Amino acid sequence: MRLTGKGFSPFDIRGIYPDDVNEEVAYRVGRSLVKLFHVERAAIGRDVRLSSPELLKYAIKGMQDAGADVMDIGMCGTEMIYFAVAHYKLDGGIMITASHNPKEYNGMKLVQRGSRPISNDSGLRDIRHEVLFGRFKPTGYSLRRISHMDIMEDYVNHLLTYVDVNKLRPYKVVLNAGNGAAGPVVDALSKYLPFDIVKINNEPDGSFPNGVPNPLLVENREATVEAVLREGADFGVAWDGDFDRCFLVDEKGEFIDGYYMVGLLAKSFLEKEPGAAIIYDPRCIWNTEEICREYSGRAVMSKSGHAFIKERMRAEDAVYGGEMSAHHYFRDFSYCDSGMIPWLLVSELMSTDGRPLSEMVGSMRRSYPISGEVNSKVKDVDAVLRRVEEKYQAMGAVIDHTDGVSAAFDKWRFNLRKPNTEPVIRLNVETRGDRRLMEEKRDELLKEIRR
């Protein structure tokens, strides 16, 4: 099978199966992880994709051949690997998943002890080199032990520690697993919650008969929105394929942007732990900073990306970290991201606040209107970033380079970022209570970027 290295990104391994990611790659990744990180006991799991069982089998063989005992937790979400490695004090773990990518994709996410992420800066570059150029001789370890373990009860019990179930109101809730891996967790959680739960697309199915679960795409939100309105639900939740991100819809069928989710979750934690540190990314910041001031929280900005957020959370002992991309990180979850904890916390916050979700979010939308992330393809990303920065700095903006270029004026600000893999600029604009100004500045910036 081909070994191109094409599926390796700065944070994980992801590509088209079997061209970029295949059984040989999985075997070599498993073997390299054990060798380079001195893994004696490892966890492995997979999402629902049709190619995942074979990739899992070969990754297990690679880990065994390198001398590790392997705990196979079966079909699961990425956060269940995070949980298993930390909770059972294992040395590392592999999740076979391509998250929200189209169904012809697959990949792997890797962690070391304590569920610390393995990215380019912490060993993924070394694993790539070993996969492409390492010579793997027979080791005689192929009979190392493999165990199959159902961790659902331990995992669900941990999820329930984040909320006081006795405070939850009997809301009607639509839960859309998207035919991904979230369905079994929904089933296991539902018996402990007082909600009237309407399940849609709950059966795991790697052929994704209702479309690949990626609620960031507007067309993929329709099923959740329609079910909320049809059922008269108090809110709806949708997940991506490996459910490390969740997306909420209010009772009016309005999608809740990740920025405002960060505000809700920051408030949830600071009500319980005033003064705690909250980590957030630089794309949009003012709403989060205001909530931190109101509840005596310590607002700490970090570069976007799970490896950066997790590292900063550990350094600050932050109780929570959130990104606009709908990744939410929790200190008591080994500083890892979870797509199950957020909606539980929001339901508890609604229960104690008493207002409908649309009103809770509406006040934030009015105070800090945002453009949402707008992408522009350009020939020379760095040249455009320099040009835009110089123009707005000359106009008196305060410039910040935590992640890309941020420029702030008294009543509005923007952030420009470039991704790692494509010639694109991502723009986010926010204002202080002035939607018209936000739209005006968004259009002004897009004209400048695209000229």
Catalytic positions, written as ranges:
99
Helix (H) or strand (E) holding 135: none
Q: What's the DSSP call for residue 212?
A: -
User: Residue 449 in contact with residue 376, Cβ under 8 Å?
Assistant: yes
For residues 24 and 3, what is the distance between their CA atoms, to the nearest angstrom? Answer: 8
User: Residue 302 in contact with residue 402, Cβ under 8 Å?
Assistant: yes
**Residue 193 Cα distances to 173, 284, 386, angstroms:** 11, 33, 52
**H helix runs in 181-257, sequence order:** 183-190, 222-231
Structure tokens at 283: 């794309």
Which of left, alpha, beta for 217 (phi over 0: left; psi -120 to 50: alpha)? beta
For residues 82 and 201, what is the distance between their CA atoms, to the nearest angstrom? Answer: 25
User: Residue 67 in contact with residue 40, Cβ under 8 Å?
Assistant: yes
The reply to whether omega before 18 is within 30° of 0 (cis) is yes
* Strands annotated E in 338-423: 374-377, 398-400, 405-408, 412-417
Maximum pairwise Cα distance, the chain = 68
Number of Cβ atoms within 10 Å of the Cβ of 99: 24
Give the 3-state secondary structure percentages of the chain, helix then strand then coil, rounded to 5: 40, 20, 40
Is the Cα torsion angle 197, 203, 204, 206 positive or negative in sign?
negative
- Residue 3, C-beta contacts closer than 8 angstroms, at least 6 positions apart: 24, 25, 28, 131, 132
**H helix runs in 138-280, sequence order:** 152-159, 183-190, 222-231, 258-272
**Residue 282 Cα distances to 215, 309, 422, 430, angstroms:** 22, 11, 20, 11
φ/ψ of 406, rounded to 5, equals -110, 140
Give the DSSP letter string of 409-426: -SSEEEEEE--SSSSEEE
